Structure 1
């Protein structure tokens, strides 16, 4: 995930920078530095952003808010739970 993708994801979720920072466990200033490219985007930040997107998709009842990779993984888990993957 790039900083532009992070910013785009946040906007698609309808979150402010403050809300996204809270969702991924950063201060507002630290999050702003990520979006501006002042700080390198770590894998932990990207994973936290994907998790925030999943949470928002569930909260808003819109699976399309979650990144495609997360939707695919969620479908695989659902198949395992329902026994369709066996």
Structure 2
């Protein structure tokens, strides 16, 4: 994932920069800097927005809002649970 993908996922989730910042516990400016490429997008940022995408998908009852990697992991977990 790059900064453009990060921004696209945020927009797909229907979150403003401020709302994503609130969910991640960071200032809006931190999100602006990530999306603009001023701050290096690190694995922890990717994991964080993926986790937010899962939460939003559950809240809105729309599994397609979850990032593809999260959907794959969720399906694998379901398979483990259901045998």
- Give the TM interval when normalised to the shorter protein: over 0.9
**Contact 1:57–1:63 at 8 Å: present in 2 too?**
yes
Structure 1 window deviating more from structure 2 (42-51 vs 25-34): it is 25-34
Q: Which runs of 4+ in 1 moved over 2 A?
A: none
1:32 maps onto 2:21 in alignment: no
Larger Rg: 1
Please, which runs of 5 or more residues in structure 1 have no aligned partner? none
Which string of whole-angstrom CA distances, capped at 9 and with x for unpartnered residues, describes residues 22-79 of structure 1? 2222211111110111111111011000000010001000000111111011001011
SS in 1 for 2:26: coil
Aligned residues: 83
Determine the structure 2 residue equivalent to 1:53.
Answer: 53
CA RMSD of aligned residues (A): 0.8
Could you tell me the TM-score, scaled by structure 2's length?
0.95
